[in-house]
């Protein structure tokens, strides 16, 4: 039997899991409802004669424990249940309950709970997951609340990298949202053995890479996390085809233009290692980098261009996230981060969450920024929404480092030229303006012109800072 503690699911995800399990177990098509005040109802089954025929209440309470659960049921929920007067009431909780605990709950909720079989605790949910494996597969994040899987992951770390994995699991897995990007990226890795995740800063490259890493670690792959040099991976590369290894190199081309010009890994080293992984069974290579850095590297390094990395890349764009995905990312950060309830209420007040979810500058990194306690501790809760919108309207923090460190002077000049012309401009007009700016910098600033400067700079910025329509 699995040993899930459900800690990686937020309250809404636990409710959805419960709906899927109980609908199958009891052959009842339960209704579920949007996030908000539930008035004592999380799931419901209605008939022609009884609107509240069966009511299901889902209580996570993993951190609070049994005493707090019993207190809430007795002093808050019982009043709601009396008003609803259901024919049958079912309670589900993620915490473990003894037979004595269930008897106490039954007594508190008499006469609505007919017997303790209508009280589902942690062990009961695990038993249902055994009975309905398709539901278990559906809830990917659930796997990482399994004590056995977590231990397996930690055991599969290499040379102290277990600490990295353990920290990521404990701090981040609950926040991640699994969407279409996960399945699409994982399919590239399975078919090509190499996956290169690219995108602009803050779009979620590392989050997607971590989800894929956890998936493979749970399948007995050994993690080799590469900090800086490919040679570190070469040293522990096991030629035994039965040894399953995942090589994970985050930001593999470096974080700045200088890393490209003066790389710690030569183009030969990277390309040769890619070929070695491709030719050895049960070996995978997972890479991440920024779009502009990849474009710069391919311009500078001929062998990287010949390695045909484009066939191995998966680019994360904001359009990959539906409104529902964006809402789940926001909700997970609010749920799992240590924030005051007053701050959280401001998000839901007057449906302020729509201002965030539908903002044109929405990004997972900004969501992370303004849901961390250290970034908002100086605020009064009445200032919180204005703080969020201000960061979304002017996301300098997310772009400042990229602009200063990832672009060379020629690329910065092209970007500044574009900004002076407005949001939409034809390529010929942009090139004309850029050449005029370059001429000025040559005459007044000592800038050195090189051959094909516009085309090279344009190509490097394409996809990261510039969007190009062929229409």
What CATH number is associated with residue 231? 3.40.50.300
DSSP secondary structure letter of residue 74? I
Per-residue pLDDT band for 348 (boundaries 50, 70, 90) equals very high
Rounded to an integer, the average pLDDT of 406-410 is 81
* Whole-number average pLDDT of the chain: 82
Q: What is the pLDDT of residue 261?
A: 47
DSSP string, 378-414: TS-GGGHHHHHHHHHH--HHHHHHHHHHS--HHHHHH
CA 340/CA 345 separation, integer angstroms: 9
Q: Give 265-329 as a DSSP string.
A: S-HHHHHHHHHHHHTSTTEEEEEEEEHHHHHHHHHH-HHHHHTTGGGGEEE--GGGS-HHHHHHH
> Given this model, what pLDDT does residue 27 score?
94
Q: Which is more confidently placed, 155 or 264? A: 155
Phi, psi of 109 (to 5 degrees): -105, 20
Instruction: Specify if 421 maps to a domain.
Output: yes
Last residue of a domain, one of 290, 319, 348: 319
pLDDT tops 60 at residue 265: no
d(CA 40, CA 144): 29
Boundaries of domain holding 377: 321-398
Is residue 119 located within the same domain as residue 153?
Answer: no
* Cα 177 off chain centre by: 5
Asked whether residue 5 is domain-assigned, the answer is no
Which of the four pLDDT bands, split at 50, 70 and 90, describes residue 256?
A: very low
Q: What is the DSSP track for 184-243?
A: HHHHHHHHHSEEEEEESTTSSHHHHHHHHHHHHHTTTPEEEEESS-HHHHHHH----TTS
pLDDT-derived band at 406 (thresholds 50, 70, 90) equals low
The yes-or-no verdict on residue 239 having pLDDT over 90 is: no
Same domain, 358 and 311: no
Q: 230 and 173 share a domain?
A: yes
Number of separate domains in the chain: 4
Last residue of a domain, one of 99, 124, 140: 140
Give the mean pLDDT of 15-27.
Answer: 94
Please check whether residues 265 and 299 belong to one and the same domain. yes
Is 90 exceeded by the pLDDT of residue 20?
yes
In terms of pLDDT, which residue wins out, 424 or 125?
Answer: 125
Of 115-129, 175-189, 201-215, 411-425, the range with the highest mean pLDDT is 115-129
Please indicate, yes or no, if residue 6 is contained in any of the structural domains: no
364 part of a folded domain: yes
Q: Please tell me whether residues 157 and 242 are part of one structural domain.
A: yes
Q: Flag the least confident range among 37-51, 74-88, 138-152, 292-306.
A: 292-306
292 and 170 within one domain: yes
What value does the mean pLDDT take over residues 302-309? 63
Q: Show Cβ contacts of residue 413 under 8 Å, excluding neighbours closer than 6 positions.
A: 434, 437, 438, 441, 457
In a domain, 167, yes or no: yes
State which of 74, 105, 140 marks the end of a domain. Answer: 140
Q: What pLDDT does residue 270 have?
A: 77
**3-state class of 106 per DSSP?**
helix
Question: Are 152 and 280 within one domain?
Answer: yes
Q: Mean pLDDT over residues 423-430, rounded?
A: 84
Cβ within 8 Å of residue 441, ≥6 positions away? 413, 447
Q: What percent of the chain has pLDDT over 70?
A: 83
Both 163 and 292 in one domain: the answer is yes
**Residues 211 and 277 both lie in one domain:** yes
- Alpha carbons 70 and 73: distance in angstroms, whole number: 5
Q: Name every residue whose Cβ is closer than 8 Å to that of residue 378 and which is 6 or more positions away in sequence.
A: none
pLDDT, average across residues 315-339: 85
Q: For residue 77, what are its two tokens?
A: 């929920």
For position 306, what pLDDT does the model report? Answer: 60
137-170 pLDDT, tens digit per residue, is 888 778 777 767 766 666 665 555 555 565 666 6
The predicted structure's pLDDT at residue 201:
74
* 43-45 and 54-59 strand pairing: antiparallel
pLDDT in tens, 79-135: 999 988 999 999 999 999 999 999 999 999 999 998 999 999 999 999 999 999 999
Q: Read off the pLDDT band of 330 (50, 70, 90).
A: very high
Beta pairing partners, 213: none
Claim to verify: residue 360 and residue 428 sit in the same structural domain = no
Same-domain status, 162 and 308:
yes
In a domain, 469, yes or no: no
Mean pLDDT in residue range 9-27: 92
Residue with tokens 């915490």: 95
Two structure tokens written together for 91 = 């309670």
Asked if the model's pLDDT at residue 235 lies above 70, the reply is yes
193 and 253 in a single domain? The answer is yes
Question: Which of 227, 294, 232 is CA-nearest to residue 260?
Answer: 294
In a domain, 467, yes or no: no
Residue 302's pLDDT band, with cuts at 50, 70 and 90, is: low
| Predicted TM-score of the model (pTM) | 0.68
Give residue 259's pLDDT band: very low, low, confident or very high (50, 70, 90): very low
pLDDT at 345 (0 to 100): 93
């Amino acid at each position: 039997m699995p040993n899930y503690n459900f800690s990686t699911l937020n309250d809404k995800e636990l409710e959805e899991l419960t709906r899927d399990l109980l609908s199958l177990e009891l052959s009842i098509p339960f209704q579920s409802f949007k996030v908000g005040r539930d008035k004592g109802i999380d799931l419901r089954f209605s008939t022609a004669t009884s609107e509240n025929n069966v009511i299901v209440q889902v209580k996570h309470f993993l951190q609070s424990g049994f005493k707090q659960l019993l207190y809430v049921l007795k002093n808050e929920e019982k009043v709601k249940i009396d008003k609803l007067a259901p024919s049958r009431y079912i309670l589900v909780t993620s915490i473990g309950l003894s037979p004595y605990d269930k008897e106490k709950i039954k007594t508190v909720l008499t006469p609505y709970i007919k017997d303790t079989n209508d009280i589902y605790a942690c062990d009961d949910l695990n038993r249902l997951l055994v009975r309905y494996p398709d539901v278990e597969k559906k809830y990917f994040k659930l796997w990482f609340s399994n004590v056995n899987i977590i231990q397996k992951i930690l055991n599969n770390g290499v040379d102290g990298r277990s600490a990295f994995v353990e920290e990521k699991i404990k701090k981040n897995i609950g926040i991640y949202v699994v969407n279409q990007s996960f399945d699409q990226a994982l399919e590239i890795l399975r078919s090509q053995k190499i996956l290169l995740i690219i995108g602009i800063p803050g779009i979620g490259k590392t989050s997607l890479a971590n989800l894929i890493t956890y998936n493979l670690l749970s399948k007995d792959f050994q993690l080799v996390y590469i900090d800086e040099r490919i040679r570190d991976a070469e040293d522990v590369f096991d030629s035994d085809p039965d040894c399953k290894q995942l090589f994970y190199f985050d930001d593999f081309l470096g974080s700045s233009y200088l890393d490209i010009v003066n790389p710690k890994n030569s183009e030969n080293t990277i390309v040769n290692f890619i070929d070695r992984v491709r030719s050895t069974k049960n070996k995978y290579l997972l890479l991440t980098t920024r779009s502009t850095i990849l474009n710069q590297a391919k311009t500078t390094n001929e062998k990287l261009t010949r390695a045909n990395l484009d066939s191995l890349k998966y680019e994360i764009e904001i359009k990959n996230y539906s409104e529902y995905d964006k809402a789940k990312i926001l909700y997970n950060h609010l749920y799992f981060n240590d924030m005051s309830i007053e701050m959280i209420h401001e998000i839901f007040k007057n449906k302020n969450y729509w201002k965030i979810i539908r903002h044109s500058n929405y990004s997972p990194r900004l969501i992370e920024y303004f849901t961390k306690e250290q970034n908002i501790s100086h605020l009064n809760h009445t200032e919180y929404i204005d703080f969020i919108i201000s960061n979304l309207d002017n996301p300098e923090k997310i772009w400042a480092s990229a602009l200063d460190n990832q672009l060379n002077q020629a690329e910065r000049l092209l970007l500044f030229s574009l900004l002076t012309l407005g949001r939409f401009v034809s390529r010929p007009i942009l090139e004309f303006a850029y050449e005029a700016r370059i001429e000025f910098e040559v005459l007044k600033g000592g800038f050195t012109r090189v051959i094909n400067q516009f085309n090279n700079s344009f190509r490097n910025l394409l996809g990261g800072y510039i969007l190009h329509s062929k229409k």
